[in-house]
A and B are shown apart, each in its own frame.
Chain A
Amino acid sequence: MANSNNWGEIYKSTWWGDKAWSANTLFIDSAPPGFGLNLLKASEDMNITRDWSQWLISVAANSTDEAAPNATDTAEKLTFTDAPQSRIQQQIALEANTTYTFSVYAKVRTGTQNFRLRNVTLGQAQQFTADTSWGLNPDDGRYSFSFTTGATAITHTLSIQNAAAAGTGEIFFWGAMLNEGATAGDYVKTEASVGGSAPAPAYSGFGDAFGGVTAYYSLRQFTEAETLNAIRVRRSSDDTEQDIGFDSNGDLDTTALLAFVGTGGTDNGFVTTFYDQSGNGNNATNSTDSEQPLIVSSGSLTQLNSKAAINGDGADDVLSLSTGLNLSSGYSIFQVVQIPSANTYGITISSTDVSNFSRTMMFGSFIKFSADGTNYDNYGGGGNKGAQNLWSSVVDGSGNLDTNRNGSAYGSTITSVTGTFELDIIGTNIGVNSFEFFQELIVFNSDQSSNLGTVTTGGGTGIEGNINTYFDIV
């Protein structure tokens, strides 16, 4: 337990926990309890996954490439993938209302490389730039990030994480430490746990499993390792707007949403922005009131299959990407969407160009995938309208298009899909026949056919299984 005195402060003991306590004895507070302790495990063994769980990263233990700052040991080499959520992390139970400092030694071989120290639980992080030097005497190349816990003692997740702007890169790390206090204490080595396995993260999203995502629009959280918003909402009562994020389960924060919009019969909430959670910042917005889809209707959350769903009017409701995506030479598009049964067809994504257009159009018994104005039909069974479906459209580097509906092949492979798919709009590009519900759109500018996995009832593996596990489509 920490006391509230400042270091070096003379204070009168009133606390039985003080050593040699007696009432009104004077003490000099040399350091708070806990100072000098390293609360992390495996401080020099970041490859030990029962202590440090790994997310979209590779860790080379005791890399012979680099001596540690103590010039005796070897350091660990962390190779970040091109994703801001690339990281290793550890969970630690911490006291309430207490300041801690998270520190680590870091070095690169040449140039500089950014990385972050993060308290995932608090959503706080600090970015640093590692350079080519480190050492203990004098202390060099050590980076520290301080944070203060909240009113409740809980388990916190701390990460050594890629820079916010992502990019790939190698950084050597050594001597991770968490100590109580507002500054990093003298480094103390700690050993790895004996036995057991790393505890499950508080929430694991799509972005924690799959890297290389070009754009991610969803009402579920991409990763726990970033502070993210799902949507920006305009409320009907006064046309003000507010960002809405996620709850601790990675679901849309419907408590905050309904508190903002209201729960009365005339309270509606409209989506002005569908945030790109991938880290690429390619948000989809609509500045036009009458074309904004709903997320709250008459005071209630709009839902599809018991999950929050953006509710379009099936006519002209759309959201436009800030920067169009030009997809070619292998790309993959995943959509959890429903088109209205009353319409002949529904356009779920499209280009601004209506001549050499790109679109996915769902009809009653087939879908039409058009890359650049040329139609590539893909026929299959009925049931495309008025139902929640996961559509996977994967074009490989040779221009072969394969479509899956809910994890099963839909029609046969279509060849010669060589045009560039220009994805500018979530919804229609002709002012009619837009979507009814949209829950998730994931775009890779790469062929993901080897990562599709399988879909089983209530779950599955790979990309499609991950989507089905959350949305429970099958």
Chain B
Amino acid sequence: MSWYIGTLEEVEAYNEKVNEAKAYKGSITSNWANPRQHPDGSKWAIAANNSIEPQEESSLIFTESLSEDWTPEIEL
């Protein structure tokens, strides 16, 4: 799964753009993706839709996968 990384506002704007483009017709599905916060709180990520680019003015950064530091630490 590929991702876009940026601020919360940027990833939410991207999500809204995908939702508008998809215009879901089913009774259950209504949202493209949920923004995900980095464990250190500094940035956000959202799943990339391969068919829909971010807005031109967006500074979202595309990545093929999230690095290990995005995985929250759990007590083992």
Q: Which residues of A does B touch, CB under 8 Å?
A: 232, 234, 238-241, 270, 272-273, 285-292, 313, 315-316, 368, 375, 430-433
Contact = CB atoms under 8 A, between A and B. Distances in A.
B17 interface: no
B28 A234 contact: yes
Nearest to B73: A430
Interface string B12-53: 000000000011111111111110100000000001010000
A433 B74 CA distance: 11
Interface of B: 1, 22-34, 36, 47, 49, 70-72, 74-76
Contact of A241 (B29, B36, B49, B76): B29
B24 A239 contact: yes
Contact of B26 (A234, A288, A291, A375): A234
A289 B70 CA distance: 21
Query: Looking at B23, B25, B27, B74, which has the most chain A CB atoms within 10 Å of its CB?
Result: B74
Contacts of B24: 239, 289
A287 B28 contact: yes
A285 B25 contact: no
Given A241-B26, A287-B31, 20 more contacts: A232-B26, A234-B29, A239-B24, A239-B29, A240-B25, A241-B27, A241-B29, A270-B29, A273-B28, A285-B28, A286-B28, A287-B28, A289-B22, A290-B47, A291-B34, A292-B29, A313-B1, A368-B76, A431-B36, A432-B70
A363 to B, nearest CB: 8
A315 B29 CA distance: 19
Contacts of A432: 70-72
Contacts of B72: 430-432
Contact of B25 (A232, A238, A315, A375): A238
A287 B22 CA distance: 13
A315 B33 CA distance: 13
B67 to A, nearest CB: 12
Closest 10 CB pairs of A and B: A241-B26, A272-B28, A290-B47, A290-B33, A288-B31, A287-B30, A240-B25, A432-B71, A289-B32, A239-B24
Contacts of A286: 28
A291 B28 contact: no
Contacts of B27: 232, 241
A431 B72 CA distance: 9
Contacts of B74: 430
A241 B72 CA distance: 33
Contacts of A270: 29
Contacts of A288: 29, 31-34
Contacts of A313: 1
B29 A287 contact: yes
Nearest to B32: A289
Contact of B1 (A232, A315, A430): A315
A233 to B, nearest CB: 9
Given A315-B1, A431-B72, A289 B28 contact: no
A239 B51 CA distance: 14
Contacts of A287: 28-31
Nearest to B36: A431
14 contacts: A234-B28, A241-B25, A272-B29, A285-B28, A287-B29, A287-B30, A288-B32, A288-B34, A289-B31, A290-B32, A290-B49, A292-B29, A315-B1, A431-B36
A238 B29 CA distance: 12
A430 B39 CA distance: 11
B12 to A, nearest CB: 14
Given A375-B75, A430-B74, A432-B72, A289 B1 contact: no
Given A272-B26, A272-B28, A273-B28, A291 B33 contact: yes
Nearest to A377: B76
Nearest to B71: A432
A285 B27 CA distance: 11
Nearest to A363: B76
Nearest to A243: B27
Contacts of A232: 26-28
Contacts of A290: 1, 32-34, 47, 49
A431 B56 CA distance: 28
B34 to A, nearest CB: 6
Contacts of B23: 239
Contacts of A285: 28
